Amino acid sequence: MRAWRVATPAPIDEIPIEQHTEAVPQPGDGELLVRVLACGVCRTDLHVVEGDLPVHRAHVVPGHEIVGEVVDAGATGRFDVGQRVGIPWLRHTCGQCRYCLRGSENLCPRSFYTGWDHDGGYAEYATVPADYALELPTNYSDTELAPLLCAGIIGYRALLRAQVPANGTLGIYGFGGSAHLTAQVALARGIRVHVMTRGSAAQELARELGAASAQGAADPPPEPLDSAILFAPVGELVPPALEALDSGGTLAVAGIHLSDIPPLNYQQHLFLERQLRSVTSNTRADAAEFLRFAGEHHLDVTSHPYALDAAPQALADLSAGRFSGAAVLVP
């Protein structure tokens, strides 16, 4: 099979991933083997490839928004050969630590992740523990489903962490693959959405999807925000986002990596019970809940297909902000 592996992490314009021809992986006990139908290109992949995240597995195959067809289900009993399944970021948790036992498996210190600790979907085949594979809604194409498996799920988790009140106002900072899905979930729940992002194309997409306003990344929204989500990995946006919050508002930072946050002024940014919260991965319950919602409320997924051979170009285009929505590799 063809597979892309990280050589030595470096800026994407140095092309730090290499394509290899290698044997199809063999599933272990309790694992599925799937043929990759589509794999989303996530900003976390870029962080793995460029070295923003520490190396967990040398020469790993990136990719964790995988839509695949089961070709070997072993004795798992959960899925059938030929069934379409999702392989997400979260690949394993211990099930025994205090975080797992209280329903916070996303904080498990012995967790493992697809495309970081284990080989992912920038390849023609991949494996996944059956207990961490996801059932998928049927009313989406492969390329529409792929971004839902991280961009959608983590955006949903960020929306929960942002604690938007009923009929409240939500600010979204950055409008890429995750944000454009989260905005639709918020709008379906009667939340008024304001988008702050660079680029006229992203601003236009936000308006087309129903945002009440769209302006520059650091511009103030036209009204105070009950909640906000920062999707752009830009720490400099934290102060203006906090300043835009109304009293009691919450800012959730959705990314796994963020550049340094400038100094905050307590009175200006945090007083009046404004709060800043991070988002760390997701639980399987989050994923199942979001995918049920997506099946019941068809989301408009803006995806841009790339051939598997064009993985470096897809990552470079993501880094440069050359498209709105999400890129998807199609073997």
Which amino acid type is present at position 53? Answer: L
Check whether residue 104 and residue 251 sit in a common domain: no
Check whether residue 8 and residue 144 sit in a common domain: yes
Check whether residue 13 and residue 75 sit in a common domain: yes
Statement: the pTM of the whole predicted model exceeds 0.95: no
Check whether residue 32 and residue 130 sit in a common domain: yes
Give the residue from 89, 195, 217, 203 showing the smallest Cα distance to 151: 89
Check whether residue 200 and residue 253 sit in a common domain: yes
State whether the Cα torsion 280-283-285-287 is positive or negative.
Answer: positive
Check whether residue 116 and residue 10 sit in a common domain: yes
Check whether residue 78 and residue 175 sit in a common domain: no
Quote the crossing angle between the two packed helices 200-209 and 179-188, to the nearest 10°.
20
Q: Say which CATH number the domain at 111 has.
A: 3.90.180.10
Structure-block tokens of residue 296: 């019941």
* pLDDT > 70 fraction of the chain, expressed in percent and rounded: 100
pLDDT at 271 over 90: yes
Check whether residue 39 and residue 170 sit in a common domain: no
**pLDDT, tens digit, for every residue of 158-210?**
999 999 999 999 999 999 889 999 999 999 999 999 999 998 989 999 999 99
Check whether residue 218 and residue 326 sit in a common domain: no
Check whether residue 206 and residue 321 sit in a common domain: no
List C-alpha distances in Å: 74 to 44, 71, 81, 88, 127. Answer: 30, 9, 9, 20, 12
Domain boundary, last residue among 278, 298, 313: 278
pLDDT at 248 over 90: yes
Q: Say which CATH number the domain at 221 has.
A: 3.40.50.720
Give the domain extent around 49: 2-149+281-330
Query: What is the Cα–Cα distance from 90 to 99, expressed in whole angstroms?
Result: 15
**pLDDT, tens digit, for every residue of 39-95?**
999 999 999 999 999 999 999 999 999 999 999 998 888 999 999 999 999 999 999
Check whether residue 97 and residue 191 sit in a common domain: no
What pLDDT is stored for residue 253 in this prediction? 98
> How many independent structural domains does the chain possess?
2
**pLDDT, tens digit, for every residue of 141-151?**
999 999 999 99
Give the residue from 308, 304, 305, 288 showing the smallest Cα distance to 296: 288
Check whether residue 228 and residue 297 sit in a common domain: no
What pLDDT is stored for residue 321 in this prediction? 87
